[in-house]
Structure 1
Amino acid sequence: MKYKISLFLLLIFVLNSCQDENEKRLAENKKEAKKKEKIFDNINKAWVFIDEPINEVSEKNEREWTEWRDFLKEIGEKPRKTIGAFQKKSAAISKKAMALNNNIPAQFNQPQIKSRISILITKVKMMDLFIHLNQIPDEKVTFLIGEINKEMVSLERQFDKIVEKSKIPKEQGEEDFLRMLDTTRAIPNTTAAPIMPPPRNIDQNSPKVE
């Protein structure tokens, strides 16, 4: 009889323990789901990129530079519903950003443009890295979205500066001066001391004119 009572009590204890574990697991799952929902909401709210050209030069680049057009199109398409959709979109943006190193228009194939593209790519790749972590640091992702927008504006303004600089007419006489400078450099140096003929031997016995 005592054995049956002990067994019954043990069974009740086990059942209670299992119930407590299930309740604890459900509470943790609910907490984790709420946390992920908050992360999704934060990223979804911050996911706003400047996908429209900010000046005429950028509009022209969008028409003529395929990689730039593809990049703007990619960032302009906002994902929906799940964090997985944002992860997929981030990877696609990173791929399009890397392609900006290709086929840069000749006018903009300059160090100041390349350096800004490099910075933009770095920040896009950082965002892609953070958003794919198991524990997503949403504050870093949202911060980088803002930084990416800043780098895009900086890049587009640099496009405009290069075009505006190319329109500035040279000062009157500047081209002639530069041309003369090049011509002068091409003329060999003729200011060296003249070569004197060697002295002749003078006969000391020859008659001298008084």
Structure 2
Amino acid sequence: MKYKISLFLLLIFLLNSCQNGDEKRLAENLKEAKKKEVIFKEINNGWVFIEEPINEVSEQNVRNWTEWRDFLKEIGDKPRKTIGAFQKKSTAISKKAMALNNNIPAEFNQPQIKSRISILITKIKMLDLFIHLNKIPAEKVTFLVGDINKELISLERQMDKIVEKAKIPKEEGEADFLKMLDTTRAIPNEMPADKNLKIE
């Protein structure tokens, strides 16, 4: 009889402790859901990209440069419902940004533009990395969105500078002078291969 009573008390104790464990788990799940909701709201509010061209040159590129147009379209579509949607969007933006290196128009295929594209790609990859972490740092994600906007403006202004510089007429002989400055075209400074040949 004592055995049955002790077994009964043990069973009650186990059921009670399981209920306490379930309550703790529910409380933790509720707390985690609230954290995720706060993170979602913060990212949702901070996810504002400048997808409209800021100058005429960038607007022309939207028509002529397919990768640029696709990239601006991708950052213009804002995800709505879940953190997972933001994660998918950041991956898609990252892919479109990588494609910017592929077919840069000839007039913009210059180190200034390439370096700005590289910086833009780096910032977008950082955004993609941070948004895919288990504990998403919402402040860093929103900060990076702002940083990406700054890089976009910098890139578009550099495109504008290149176009404006190309409009300036060159002076007579300037092209020849620039060729002379080009070190890759310089005459090599080597000794003659034939040792018997005297230089006078």
Q: TM-score range by the shorter chain?
A: 0.7 to 0.9
- 123-132 or 50-59: bigger deviation: 123-132
- The CA distance in 2 between the partners of 1:47 and 1:88, in whole Å, is 14
Tell me which residue corresponds to 2:172: 175
- The CA distance in 2 between the partners of 1:26 and 1:100, in whole Å, is 47
- The CA distance in 1 between the partners of 2:80 and 2:175, in whole Å, is 59
Superposed counterparts of 1:1-210, under 5 Å: 1-170=1-170, 174-176=171-173
**Which of 1 and 2 has greater Rg?**
1
Cα deviation code 1:91-125 (max 9, x no counterpart): 10000000000111111110000000000000001
Alignment TM-score, normalising by the size of structure 2: 0.85
- Any unmatched runs of 5+ in structure 2? 180-200
- The CA distance in 2 between the partners of 1:55 and 1:49, in whole Å, is 16
Alignment TM-score, normalising by the size of structure 1: 0.81
Seen in structure 2, the aligned counterparts of structure 1 residues 177 and 73 have a Cα distance that, compared at 3 Å, is closer
2:100 partner SS: helix
- Any unmatched runs of 5+ in structure 1? 183-210
- The CA distance in 1 between the partners of 2:173 and 2:136, in whole Å, is 62
How far apart are residue 144 of structure 1 and its match?
A: 0.7
1:51 partner SS: coil
How far apart are residue 163 of structure 1 and its match?
A: 0.8
Cα deviation code 1:59-89 (max 9, x no counterpart): 0000000000000000000011111111111
Percentage identity across aligned positions? 82
How far apart are residue 5 of structure 1 and its match?
A: 2.4
Q: Root-mean-square deviation (CA), in Å?
A: 1.8
2:134 partner SS: coil
How far apart are residue 176 of structure 1 and its match?
A: 4.6
How far apart are residue 169 of structure 1 and its match?
A: 2.8
Aligned length: 179
Seen in structure 2, the aligned counterparts of structure 1 residues 116 and 176 have a Cα distance that, compared at 3 Å, is closer
Where in structure 1 do 4 or more consecutive aligned residues deviate above 2 Å?
1-5, 176-182
- The CA distance in 2 between the partners of 1:7 and 1:178, in whole Å, is 100
